Amino acid sequence: MTARKQVLLVHPLGYGAAAAGQDISRLANIMPPLGLASMAAYLGRRGIGVDIVDCYARPDSDRLIRDLLLDRRPGLIGLSCTTSSFHDAVRIALLAKQALPGVRSVFGGPHVSALKEKLFVDYPAMDFAVVGEGEEALAELVEADGDDPSGIKGIIHREGGDGAPRFTGYRERGIELDSLPFPAYEKLAGFPASYMLPIFNYPRTPNTSCISSRGCPYACSYCDRSVFRRTFRYNSAEYLYDHLKYLRERFGIRHINFYDDQFTFNRKRVEAFTGMMIDKPLGMTFNCAVRAEHIDPELVRRMKTAGCWMMSLGIETGDEALLAQHRQNPDLAQLADKIRMIKRAGIRTKGLLMIGLPGETEETIRHSKEYVFSLPIDDFNLAKFTPFPGSPVYEKIHELGTFDEDWEKMDCMHFQFVTKGMTAARLEELFQDFYRSHFQRPKVLMGYVAMLWRSPDSWLRFLRSAGDFVRFTRVNKRLMDEGAPDPP
């Protein structure tokens, strides 16, 4: 027998546990699964028992999952899936059904929200899926307890004798974010010590990430918006301040990384929030991502006073014509001005770039390098362009180049898509060269030296993992020499 009002939520690792030690992005960055933690808190409030297993933070968790299934006997196991972690989620669902016959699986997250019923045809281990945000839909599914779920909006279930999947349709309204409880951080084993922000992205520990809005009104070609679609909802400044106060008082958190797509989209909210951080300081600093259109000198100065330590900006490419094909307002001069303005305010800047977009050439990559290197950018991230189901560009991707849709490798660390006129090997070479050139610049090196006192914990972590970073670089070089494009 399984328990009626008990759920096990799992954040899959995405690949075999043995490889976790060599996953360079995981070594540098382990973030709490905020979606699962938010659902856990919401379900808890409705009297539903929840456990969370985060395999990303604890890679070897199969036994723990089995033990929890046998001990708690949940009626549902919920799996959160990006595209690259989907197959691992299916493996865990099968493992669960073997360990606890009768347990039913429910899948959620971006990959499921994008592909919906299509997935059910090839993956019989899927009993249910939630499309879009999960709190209310999952609670209603648990409460239906095996009754006909066809009246619950936002889910996919199997119907009739042949088990054909049926989507009940989108929920009418997005959840009012201030009505949600704070995420159940306490259900994440070892929080906050078992989580870590990217190296050189924080001044002190303990730290964590936070989301204070859902959705984005823009429609960039490469962005998968299938979960929150084009809505933009946000927590009020008061809720946000209380959330940070809670993190400070209950867990001792001293720095926050906001993962909002558009933290400053609503200027009034940021004004009010920074006002509270200035008038009633919490002893906390924060990072956030901004778009050039939504910042100005006064706001940036205010944010600095309130504790803003670093701002990230999506640059994507330094070639304006290429940018115009993929994003609205492709104004690189305005972006450059704003980056200089942020830097002048004493805030660290991070540029987010992509390489391998449809239409990329040797020349556009050269433009990107020149652009980035002409700006006071302290840190940058260069992702390998990956066309995710749910992103606008996915629809016509096969017309734009060659695409090997191997989901497990669609983690922005592999060139699964190669635009016309390029080869994967050449893209890999240019990718390596971009990073190498960045790290060879004296200004950048001096910046990292300054991190000795601005973020001493980052240096400790860097030195502890230095062997893995060197091994990663060597393996990449060997693969490149052999003409194989994929990193390990």
When asked if residue 154 is in the footprint of ligand B12 (CB under 6 A), the reply is no
453-462: long-range contacts, CB 8 A cutoff, minimum separation 24: 454/203, 455/200, 455/201, 455/202, 455/203, 455/204, 457/202, 457/204, 457/205, 458/199, 458/200, 458/201, 458/202, 461/196, 461/199, 462/199, 462/200
Instruction: Determine the interface stretch with ligand B12 among 23-31, 118-126, 273-281, 314-322 (rule: CB under 6 A).
Output: 23-31
CA dist 111 and 15 (Å) reads 16
- Residue 209 CB, shortest distance to ligand B12, in Å, is 6
- Residue 86 CB, shortest distance to ligand B12, in Å, is 8
When asked if residue 211 is in the footprint of ligand B12 (CB under 6 A), the reply is yes
Instruction: Determine the interface stretch with ligand B12 among 24-32, 162-170, 232-240, 344-352 (rule: CB under 6 A).
Output: 24-32
CA dist 70 and 305 (Å) reads 51
CA dist 168 and 196 (Å) reads 38
Q: Of 34 and 479, which has the nearer Cβ to ligand B12?
A: 34
Q: Of 78 and 149, which has the nearer Cβ to ligand B12?
A: 78
- Residue 130 CB, shortest distance to ligand B12, in Å, is 4
Q: Of 108 and 318, which has the nearer Cβ to ligand B12?
A: 108
Q: Of 367 and 487, which has the nearer Cβ to ligand B12?
A: 487
Q: Of 152 and 211, which has the nearer Cβ to ligand B12?
A: 211
Q: Of 68 and 223, which has the nearer Cβ to ligand B12?
A: 223
When asked if residue 227 is in the footprint of ligand B12 (CB under 6 A), the reply is yes
When asked if residue 197 is in the footprint of ligand B12 (CB under 6 A), the reply is no
The token pair that represents 288 in the structure block: 């956030």
Whether the Cβ atoms of residue 100 and residue 72 lie closer than 8 Å to each other: no
The residue from 17, 34, 99, 425 that contacts ligand B12 (CB under 6 A) is: 34
Binding string, 98-137, against ligand B12, x = CB under 6 A?
--------x-xxxx--x---------------x--xxx--
When asked if residue 206 is in the footprint of ligand B12 (CB under 6 A), the reply is no
Residues 241-270 that bind ligand B12 (CB under 6 A): 259, 261
The token pair that represents 289 in the structure block: 């991502």
Instruction: Determine the interface stretch with ligand B12 among 65-73, 83-91, 273-281, 422-430 (rule: CB under 6 A).
Output: 83-91
Q: Of 345 and 354, which has the nearer Cβ to ligand B12?
A: 354
When asked if residue 201 is in the footprint of ligand B12 (CB under 6 A), the reply is no
The residue from 177, 184, 223, 422 that contacts ligand B12 (CB under 6 A) is: 223
Chain centroid to CA 421: how far?
31
When asked if residue 75 is in the footprint of ligand B12 (CB under 6 A), the reply is no
The size of the interface with ligand B12 (CB under 6 A), counted in residues, is 39
Whether the Cβ atoms of residue 68 and residue 53 lie closer than 8 Å to each other: yes
Q: Of 257 and 302, which has the nearer Cβ to ligand B12?
A: 257
Task: Please classify residue 446 by burial: count the beta carbons closer than 10 Å to its beta carbon, then call 0-12 exposed, 13-18 middle and 19+ buried.
Answer: exposed
Q: Of 72 and 366, which has the nearer Cβ to ligand B12?
A: 72
When asked if residue 140 is in the footprint of ligand B12 (CB under 6 A), the reply is no
When asked if residue 31 is in the footprint of ligand B12 (CB under 6 A), the reply is yes
- Residue 387 CB, shortest distance to ligand B12, in Å, is 10
Residues 386-445 that bind ligand B12 (CB under 6 A): 388, 390, 411-412
When asked if residue 203 is in the footprint of ligand B12 (CB under 6 A), the reply is no
> What are residue 418's DSSP bridge partners?
402
Q: Residue 46 carries which side chain, given as an amino acid letter?
A: R
Q: Of 271 and 408, which has the nearer Cβ to ligand B12?
A: 408
CA dist 73 and 76 (Å) reads 9
Q: Of 330 and 392, which has the nearer Cβ to ligand B12?
A: 392
Binding site for ligand B12 (CB under 6 A): 14, 25, 29, 31, 33-36, 38-39, 56, 78-80, 82-85, 106, 108-111, 114, 130, 133-135, 138, 211, 223-224, 227, 259, 261, 388, 390, 411-412
